[in-house]
């Protein structure tokens, strides 16, 4: 692909079939290798990708913008302290 920084929701959807805001096809390409049964479960609402993303960010000690905040703070930020 000559220019994979397609610049926004309208362009990304028009050229790739994805609605991904300002993210490039390279940045969201991981979804292409996901198992079909997982994608189908996400589409049916059986898997919450937002929750999984929050858990992963917390496991990495990162805040909402990917900045290092430490593991304990990250769990609090993402609402995982229960």
Helices and strands in the chain: count of H runs, count of E runs: 5, 0
How far is it, in rounded angstroms, from Cα 7 to Cα 57? Answer: 25
Cα 25 to Cα 7: distance, rounded to the nearest angstrom: 10
3-state SS, residue 56: helix
The pTM score is: 0.72
> Do you know the residue count of the chain?
82
Place of tokens 């995982």: 80
Task: Tell me the domain boundaries of the chain.
Answer: 9-33, 48-82
**Higher model confidence: residue 73 or residue 26?**
73
pLDDT: which is higher, 74 or 25 = 74
């Amino acid at each position: 692909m000559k220019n994979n920084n397609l610049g926004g929701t309208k362009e990304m959807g028009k050229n790739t079939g994805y609605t991904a805001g300002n993210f490039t096809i390279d940045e969201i390409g991981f979804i292409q290798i996901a198992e079909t049964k997982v994608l189908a479960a996400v589409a049916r609402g059986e898997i919450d990708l937002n929750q999984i993303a929050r858990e992963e960010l917390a496991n990495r000690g990162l805040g909402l913008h990917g900045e290092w905040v430490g593991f304990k703070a990250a769990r609090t930020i993402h609402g995982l302290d229960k």
